[in-house]
Amino acid sequence: MPARRVPQHEAAAHAATSPCVPQILPGLYLGNFIDAKDLEQLSRNKITHIVSIHESPQPLLQDITYLRIPLPDTPEANIKRHFKECISFIHQCRLHGGNCLVHCLAGISRSTTVVVAYVMAVTELSCQEVLEAVRTVRPVANPNPGFRQQLAEFGGGAARKVRRHLKQRYGTSPFNDEEEIKALLPAGRGGPSRTEGPRQGLVPRARDIRTTTPFLLRVKRTFSCIPACLK
């Protein structure tokens, strides 16, 4: 039987795999299938919930609550129909003090799409703004063209409808998610904290603490996450 052909934009992650799982928001992480079975990393980040979205997602760990979405990474795949379920799962996890990892095969297309949809639902930011912010902590994030189109469609009334649903079901959000995401955007697109540079999210950060790490030190820390076999 011929081997399954891995899409080019997903295969790239096998060369970019890093032990650093980026934190997108407090309680929300974005990664790949390797991250989802890395016990040390899951423990370090106190991961309690996992959204697993790829061709054959399976629950791997007993102490983790899973949401499994079987979906190929193809432009014609209907990922939008899973948005509401994923968003509710992530939001409920965060409200209960948990930490959710969203992953696909490579952490590039499918998982990024779900994370962007969630952020769009809990903020009033556009798809492009959210994706730009996500890329500051995970540069390989790149939904396929079909998923981008579905995110653009979701950015209309659908995102507002889900936002109202979350408020009706769970009450007013205690999070400052829009400010958190704006802080990741390049200078000139948001508040003064955007000069900090990428946050790698190895440990959930205190939301009221801001640091100004020198540029060369940030570069050193970033490359220290590259596995030895890739150095």
Picking from 207, 161, 174, the residue whose alpha carbon sits closest to that of residue 94 is: 174
Please report, for residues 20, 134, 218, the alpha-carbon distance to residue 221 in angstroms, rounded to integers and kept in the order given.
Answer: 10, 18, 5
CB 89 within 8 A of CB 67: yes
Tokens of 32: 């790949």
Report d(CA 94, CA 174) in Å as an integer.
10
Per the CB < 8 A criterion, the answer to whether 18 and 137 are in contact is: no
Contact 94, 26 (CB under 8 A): yes
Amino acid at 14: H
In terms of DSSP bridges, do strands 100-103 and 28-31 run parallel, antiparallel, or are they unpaired? parallel
Would you please indicate which residues are annotated as catalytic (active-site) residues? 104
How many helices (H) and strands (E) are present in the chain, helices listed first?
9, 5
Contact 173, 166 (CB under 8 A): yes
CA distance 16 to 227: 9
